[in-house]
Amino acid sequence: IYMNQFADLVSDPAMCMFIDEAARNNKNPSCKMGWSLKGLRAAQRQCFVHGQRFSILPVLTLDGIVAYDIYPGSITSELFAKFLREHIIPLTNPYPGPQSVLILDNCNIHHSEVVRQLVEDEA
């Protein structure tokens, strides 16, 4: 049912802009070896090096990645709204033109009133 409704609204794949966030933390294990008595399983002990977390927000279309930004830390609703305003809104076109449909996952930051208002007013 969903795919049929989607197909009715989005007649051309060029209309779609996909947005999804990803993160990387340099939390790498530094202890990679262990030992035990013969016949016994080695107890796993891990030491971690805590690094800084980075988040990336890419925008993908049929043409590939058309915009992205990398932020230290996690993405908040405010950062996501800023990204929309600065990187995505300028690339959008009126519906049903190319790059006129934003496709997001169900992440909490996508549900803020600021994000909803921004998309409704400017995209």
Length in residues, the chain: 123
pLDDT category at 119 given cuts 50, 70, 90 is confident
Write down the number of H helices and E strands in the chain.
3, 7
User: 89, 122 in Cβ contact below 8 A?
Assistant: yes
* pLDDT tens, position by position, 75-87: 999 999 999 999 9
Query: E strand or H helix at 65, and its extent?
Result: strand 64-72
Q: What is the pLDDT of residue 47?
A: 55
Does the pLDDT at position 48 exceed 60?
Answer: no
% of the chain surpassing 90 pLDDT: 56
Domain boundaries, the chain: 2-25+54-122
The reply to whether omega before 58 is within 30° of 0 (cis) is no
What CATH homologous superfamily does 2-25+54-122 map to? Ribonuclease H-like superfamily/Ribonuclease H (3.30.420.10)
pLDDT score recorded for residue 24: 83
Q: Which residue has the higher pLDDT, 32 or 24?
A: 24
Residue 40 is predicted with a pLDDT of 82
